[in-house]
Structure 1
């Protein structure tokens, strides 16, 4: 409906906004500063989000000898740990993680996992209920100090306390050794998990992915003390930086890849492989195959006797992982980063070809370049991708999936899934392997930040890459979930119901919204780089991230953290009403004529039409005595007084006021309702009658004085025919039907079909490559 704004005696006063009182009980809550919800700044962590001038962290250096038994799938090892107490505190004991005990017979993981019986049960689901782990816990054979004296220990499931013979004072070092062993689990079997082995029945060979495989120092920090929360499976790892020297003894025909740099290539590689490796270190455009598929297949068929020991060293890493198999094909190429060369490489069995040979190492190289551009130059010398029907990350090495069908064909979904998981797992080198957050407590600090980075790298890989997580609209199904299935992002890792959406997708989406919509790319990118650089090789907390992004951008984001990270409310903003106004700049004659036309329209109704026939004569028409002044008075006649008042008003206007008056402006008063509760910027597209359009962006702070409903007037020279809220789906609004004015309704389509569906559990994915080969 179009309304005219009457001309006031001094021009445009009637378009000033109203300052009505707001009485909502929750007024201002969403825009209150986080205040005491964040840790108090101190000498270790500043209010700006940077490490303080007295920041410290512990260090643990390892020398490890480990031997793989390929006959019975077990390992035994000896490690010497040198623990450096950089804290100002005196320690009377140390805590180590025994993550392998998560797979023991007495593990708490199956005990605290709900289970039920359905009418149809898969064998894997049933075995998960039975949980008959065959003695897979860590066997600690001895723990001694540097003089060979036994140390007292206490093992509590996945954590082991080592009691010190005397307190370890600030600045002191303690060295001790551990002998241990365990039976490796079948990671594709019913226990599953990150580490273990995979048996290939056709050729009888194993592929080992060894992680969480040795007693590892827990983190002792300024903000938490010892992080000795039990490992139940979801909350991953909080680990201490240090230097590693690891000697890995395996069957002589195995290929080994590991964290760090190989120290004895002349001893473990053939002369041909060594020559190819040297070529790879000088090749930057295409991967060089160091062990070919034909060579790997020959090794599969005839197992060699004897053993080899591969020696790896790694500096300033928080963990160490390795892989071993005679099935491995190996390729590598160099990547220029920050003035130095980094070796990108892949290990994979023939079952992964041709997909892996074409893509894996190229994706590793791309990931290093993309992440480095958005954070800091990758500082390590190596980045490895291993095909292991898995998805897990460790410093400089990760295990990924993406196996074609037996005939070598694959669907596009398999290819994109493989590329996505390689980007994700290689990207974890940045978060949390270098920016070393506490995964046991805050999964989102590594998974969410890394998923955000993954989204950017995927789009830089392929403009049409089908990224599952990152775009705002992709989080909408999760945000629509019932309240009982939602918890804030700031929830402990083990307590999350919808783990993927909560810890991966929602924080990634939030960061993408910050970058694209709230802060803008320039401000966000600078602030995110600042966070990444500040906390390289350190232990950040959520507070440090929140504070740094504000500190480096001058954007107050407390409302954003409160809504997206501490709350569960969804975004649902509705255009509730639009009123159209125009300045009344008509002459008295035009105004009276318009008023007369409107009055005549109002006086035209059905009864009046029928009475023209049914009432031949009214009283007024029949009796002159009933007539008076008003019988013939015409209120729509323009009087000399009307003309004079109009001339005086026009003469009083300045040139600027006349220009405004003559522009024939359109005033659109829009009312927005915050239905969902999560405040967000208002992004409005105005579609004009001439076919053009424009977008206006109103910061989220418009809600600060009225969090449930706001009204805003927009002045346009053109006539608007449609208003669209969030036209590019930037805010994760869960109900887009209320984002249009006038309302836009579209039918929900349903499909007509005949016959039954596919067999339960059978793949219905499309594989055009396979179809093309059959032609």
Structure 2
């Protein structure tokens, strides 16, 4: 999507009229909802083709990192030094580079702190009061030095969560530049201060769990469709990042276990003999083997080492690096095989998560990799890790999830299935956006929505009747029937969304599920969706690339669908207004049905006929029936048998928000009060 499209999109957002975009036939009952998307998406060019594939001149930047980090557990501080090699593969000369300092979101003076809404209530906790007082918290990145590779200082300017580094000479196309940054920061309390990384303190054993994310200065993306992506990190819109190779040395207390992006290079030096032997055994294990077990970590919690160890990890062609470090981690692993390639599926978790994670986590990692590989591309990395850390967040080859048992080791089904879904979701993010590398800062739905859709497919193959919360059409109805002032199109920037979960996760996932099951059919959808993943693996796709690829690979015109589901806020509400009966001499029964598009979102009409003999039949009418009149249509049908009733959307697959007008004869709809009275009488 080029700058013209971004400008046009921004203009629509700024007028708060996205749902009223580019109407070519205003005031008419047709010619609007089926207009082609060419009016609101970018024209194809040499970088992005009309088919939705990368163009012949497509390019993207690259950044390689060598990082030395030291975890100061006593002072809760991280010290780091990195060397970045930046490759200018663009056709543009660059006089400066932009670097992300996401940890600055925790500073009291950060934009996201200042723009958070707040109010005074009768009961307020310390964090709520501190946010209002806006007291200095001594958090945020402290840049100690920025130099070139020879040690000469480079001028830089920090603007909130972004740092501009001015280059002494213009970096020409096809050139590379090496720079060094030394920094430190006080690690935030992830539970109290929020955010995606930091520490969690466990008072029962006086220990910490460190989840190190957004922990180093990272290159911003420079792309063909928007130049520098230097939009500030406000806390919700996640990350636009550059692919590259990493070598990371993490120096931590000697009794810590470390897991991270990529493959450890020195297990022989950092593991004891027993753990190393178990690690080697796990290479061929079909079920998880504990590399570090619960008994070992419990016995070591009170014996804190003053010594240090350095763990070295390498990762190739990744967009980020994250790691976990603690002396209270059980670690298990097994081998997963996909298309003849071995991947090590692993989990790290504390004692409170042991009853759940030891039983399920690594097996779910294994299952997720296999299922996502079926629907996208074969998982390309050598490792996939699930870490229990009280909440969920994703990074290449490693993710952080929730799921803890009660103190007696028991847990509810809600906790179990919640944990399973989070692990599937976060592991699934390896595909979207860690591989298919969309811009999360601008379009959350491109990773969250696509990933939630694949999560739904994966949940359903894990267990029959798995209680999926997002994906089935009827589960989005309550959101889509909300007042328009509480809604915004899916094509809305992350920071401007009110109901973020339904908008960025559930609605796009539901839309894709409807595309697969109702509009396109599984065969056409699955081929096109895999084609999108193959085309844009390890590249930077835009929404237009997805829309075009899905049509290009299927020969299904979907512009009406993208308009209705992604660019507008209208709900689905198709009403069956009348059924008229005619009978002829050849014994055929003719029925004429009147439909009204009450909700505004055009969709296929699905009709279930029930005949006098008790048999049923379903007719499926494509959405194109609304082309000549987007508000009302009449359709005649010939049936061999006498019809006694008609039902629209019998399997609840279109997200129709009002089912009371879907039947003939009309069914009596009980109010909730009547339902309650009836249930009370039964008691």
TM-score (norm: length of structure 1): 0.83
What corresponds to 1:260 in structure 2?
262
Deviations 1:666-708 (A, max 9, x none): 1110000000000000000001110000100000000000000
Note the 1:696-775 alignment, pairs <5 A. Answer: 696-748=619-671, 749-751=674-676
Relative to structure 1, is the Cα distance of residues 133 and 467 closer, same or farther in structure 2, using a 3 angstrom cutoff?
Answer: farther
Note the 1:201-216 alignment, pairs <5 A. Answer: 201-216=203-218
What corresponds to 1:541 in structure 2?
542
1-side partners of 2:644 and 2:151: how far apart? Answer: 85
What corresponds to 1:473 in structure 2?
474
Give, in angstroms, the shift of residue 572 of structure 1.
0.5
Tell me if the contact between 1:487 and 1:568 (Cα under 8 Å) persists in the aligned partners: yes
What corresponds to 2:359 in structure 1?
358
| 3-state SS in 1 of match to 2:191 | coil
2-side partners of 1:503 and 1:126: how far apart? Answer: 30
1-side partners of 2:403 and 2:645: how far apart? Answer: 46
| 3-state SS in 1 of match to 2:166 | strand
Tell me if the contact between 2:105 and 2:113 (Cα under 8 Å) persists in the aligned partners: no
Structure number with bigger Rg:
1
| 3-state SS in 2 of match to 1:38 | coil
Tell me if the contact between 2:67 and 2:80 (Cα under 8 Å) persists in the aligned partners: yes
What corresponds to 1:82 in structure 2?
85
What corresponds to 1:100 in structure 2?
103
1-side partners of 2:608 and 2:218: how far apart? Answer: 55
Give, in angstroms, the shift of residue 112 of structure 1.
1.1
Give, in angstroms, the shift of residue 131 of structure 1.
4.3
2-side partners of 1:510 and 1:697: how far apart? Answer: 18
Note the 1:135-214 alignment, pairs <5 A. Answer: 135-189=138-192, 191-214=193-216
Tell me if the contact between 1:103 and 1:133 (Cα under 8 Å) persists in the aligned partners: no
2-side partners of 1:540 and 1:497: how far apart? Answer: 25
Deviations 1:278-309 (A, max 9, x none): 0001112x100110000011111211220000
The reply on whether 1:446 has 2:447 as its aligned counterpart is yes
2-side partners of 1:335 and 1:532: how far apart? Answer: 21
2-side partners of 1:146 and 1:711: how far apart? Answer: 73
What corresponds to 1:496 in structure 2?
497
2-side partners of 1:84 and 1:670: how far apart? Answer: 63
Give, in angstroms, the shift of residue 119 of structure 1.
4.0
What corresponds to 1:505 in structure 2?
506
1-side partners of 2:662 and 2:477: how far apart? Answer: 15
| 3-state SS in 2 of match to 1:31 | coil
| 3-state SS in 2 of match to 1:354 | helix
Give, in angstroms, the shift of residue 745 of structure 1.
1.3
Deviations 1:721-742 (A, max 9, x none): 1100000001000000101111
2-side partners of 1:451 and 1:91: how far apart? Answer: 37
Tell me if the contact between 2:29 and 2:631 (Cα under 8 Å) persists in the aligned partners: no
Tell me if the contact between 1:329 and 1:349 (Cα under 8 Å) persists in the aligned partners: yes
Tell me if the contact between 1:684 and 1:695 (Cα under 8 Å) persists in the aligned partners: yes
Tell me if the contact between 1:722 and 1:742 (Cα under 8 Å) persists in the aligned partners: yes
What corresponds to 1:460 in structure 2?
461
The reply on whether 1:229 has 2:231 as its aligned counterpart is yes
What corresponds to 1:395 in structure 2?
396
Tell me if the contact between 1:688 and 1:718 (Cα under 8 Å) persists in the aligned partners: yes
2-side partners of 1:124 and 1:424: how far apart? Answer: 29
Tell me if the contact between 1:24 and 1:706 (Cα under 8 Å) persists in the aligned partners: no
Deviations 1:10-47 (A, max 9, x none): xxxxxxxxxxxx99624220000011311110111000
1-side partners of 2:660 and 2:497: how far apart? Answer: 30
Relative to structure 1, is the Cα distance of residues 229 and 24 closer, same or farther in structure 2, using a 3 angstrom cutoff?
Answer: closer
Give, in angstroms, the shift of residue 751 of structure 1.
3.8
Give, in angstroms, the shift of residue 147 of structure 1.
1.5
Give, in angstroms, the shift of residue 124 of structure 1.
4.5
Give, in angstroms, the shift of residue 117 of structure 1.
2.2
TM-score (norm: length of structure 2): 0.94
| 3-state SS in 2 of match to 1:691 | coil
| 3-state SS in 1 of match to 2:55 | coil
Give, in angstroms, the shift of residue 258 of structure 1.
0.2
2-side partners of 1:282 and 1:319: how far apart? Answer: 28
What corresponds to 1:367 in structure 2?
368
The reply on whether 1:675 has 2:611 as its aligned counterpart is no
Deviations 1:502-534 (A, max 9, x none): 000000000000000000000000000000000
| 3-state SS in 1 of match to 2:460 | helix
2-side partners of 1:123 and 1:688: how far apart? Answer: 66
2-side partners of 1:238 and 1:197: how far apart? Answer: 24
2-side partners of 1:400 and 1:110: how far apart? Answer: 25
Give, in angstroms, the shift of residue 133 of structure 1.
5.1
Deviations 1:577-624 (A, max 9, x none): 1100111x3xxxxxxxxxxxxxxxxxxxxxxxxxxxxxxxxxxxxxxx
2-side partners of 1:455 and 1:421: how far apart? Answer: 11
2-side partners of 1:571 and 1:289: how far apart? Answer: 50
2:137 corresponds to which of 134, 137, 156: 134
| 3-state SS in 2 of match to 1:489 | coil
Deviations 1:339-373 (A, max 9, x none): 11000000001111211100000000000001001
Relative to structure 1, is the Cα distance of residues 151 and 24 closer, same or farther in structure 2, using a 3 angstrom cutoff?
Answer: closer
What corresponds to 2:12 in structure 1?
none
Relative to structure 1, is the Cα distance of residues 26 and 168 closer, same or farther in structure 2, using a 3 angstrom cutoff?
Answer: farther
What corresponds to 1:551 in structure 2?
552
Tell me if the contact between 2:157 and 2:164 (Cα under 8 Å) persists in the aligned partners: yes
| 3-state SS in 2 of match to 1:481 | coil
Relative to structure 1, is the Cα distance of residues 733 and 65 closer, same or farther in structure 2, using a 3 angstrom cutoff?
Answer: same
Note the 1:633-644 alignment, pairs <5 A. Answer: none
Q: What is the aligned length?
A: 653
Gaps of 5+ in 2: 1-24, 679-683
Tell me if the contact between 1:110 and 1:129 (Cα under 8 Å) persists in the aligned partners: no
2-side partners of 1:706 and 1:394: how far apart? Answer: 47
Deviations 1:97-125 (A, max 9, x none): 00000001211112112112234445554
What corresponds to 1:691 in structure 2?
614
CA RMSD of aligned residues (A): 1.4
Give, in angstroms, the shift of residue 390 of structure 1.
1.2
| 3-state SS in 2 of match to 1:197 | strand
2-side partners of 1:23 and 1:386: how far apart? Answer: 53
What corresponds to 1:270 in structure 2?
272
2-side partners of 1:68 and 1:430: how far apart? Answer: 30
1-side partners of 2:379 and 2:180: how far apart? Answer: 32
2-side partners of 1:124 and 1:480: how far apart? Answer: 35
Gaps of 5+ in 1: 1-21, 586-660, 754-775
2-side partners of 1:510 and 1:108: how far apart? Answer: 34
1-side partners of 2:311 and 2:511: how far apart? Answer: 44
